């Protein structure tokens, strides 16, 4: 009576375990990727990993010497936004390369 249903549950558990393994592998690979965003004035750069974690900010001395808080804030925002866009695109590309997640529209 429950043979068919139990088999389906077992298959689902196996598939879930496989998906968890794929996610862990993808997370490791994404963490190893770096995406650099550079401000329009080219005086500040931000580096994010593929998991969108900030790894570094590089500020040119010229920007600091200007003592312009608004320019510094704008430069950080521009560089971060660019790095985030690149990281999101890179993560999507990486997921696609690994076959995405069948059944989840990815």
| pLDDT tens for each residue of 66-93 | 999 999 999 999 999 999 999 999 888 8
20 within domain boundaries: no
Helix axes of 3-31 and 69-97: crossing angle, nearest 10 degrees: 140
Q: Is the pTM of this model over 0.75?
A: no
50 within domain boundaries: yes
Tell me the C-alpha distance between 29 and 73, whole Å. 31
3 within domain boundaries: no
Token output for 85 = 């866009």
103 within domain boundaries: no
10 within domain boundaries: no
Q: Containing domain of residue 66, as a range?
A: 25-97
46 within domain boundaries: yes
Domain CATH number, residue 83: 3.30.1310.10
Sign of CA dihedral 48, 53, 55, 60: positive
| pLDDT tens for each residue of 9-29 | 888 988 898 888 888 888 888
Sign of CA dihedral 86, 88, 90, 92: negative
Domain count within the chain? 1
């Amino acid at each position: 009576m429950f043979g068919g249903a139990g088999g389906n549950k077992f298959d689902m558990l196996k598939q879930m375990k496989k998906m968890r393994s794929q996610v862990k592998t993808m997370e490791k690979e994404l963490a190893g990727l770096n995406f650099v965003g550079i401000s329009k004035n080219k005086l500040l750069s931000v580096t994010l990993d593929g998991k969108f974690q900030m790894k570094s900010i590089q500020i040119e001395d010229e920007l600091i010497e200007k003592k312009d808080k608004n320019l510094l804030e704008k430069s950080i925002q521009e560089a971060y936004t660019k790095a985030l866009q690149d990281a999101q695109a890179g993560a999507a590309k990486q997921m696609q390369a690994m076959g995405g997640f069948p059944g989840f529209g990815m």
